[in-house]
Amino acid sequence: TRNGGKTWQRQDTGLPEGQAWWTVKRQAMTNDARDPVGLYLGTTSGELWMSSNEGSRWNCIARHLPEIYAVEAALV
């Protein structure tokens, strides 16, 4: 949403389609300080996903990790 929740737009291009919402916990999503903002989410199935265009397209950047319950982003 870009208008305080009045309307919503899907931002799931590239994410798995098969009930992926069950594997993402609230604390396992974060953003960085770049412009446009980068988004990151981890799953309890051990995958780390990243979007460099505000969620328009997602890419898996790591697999076969332990369950992920929290994600933090830092610019170095």
Tens digits of per-residue pLDDT, 5-41? 899 988 888 877 766 666 777 678 899 988 888 999 9
Cα–Cα distance, 21 to 41 (Å, whole number) = 11
Closest CA to 54 of 43, 40, 65: 40
- In this prediction, residue 76 carries a pLDDT of 75
Would you list the domain boundaries of the chain? 22-62
Say what the pLDDT of residue 19 is: 64
What percentage of residues in the chain have a pLDDT greater than 90?
34
Burial 31-68 (b: 16+ CB within 10 A, else e): eeeeeeebbbbbbeeebbbbbeeebeebeeeeeeeeeb
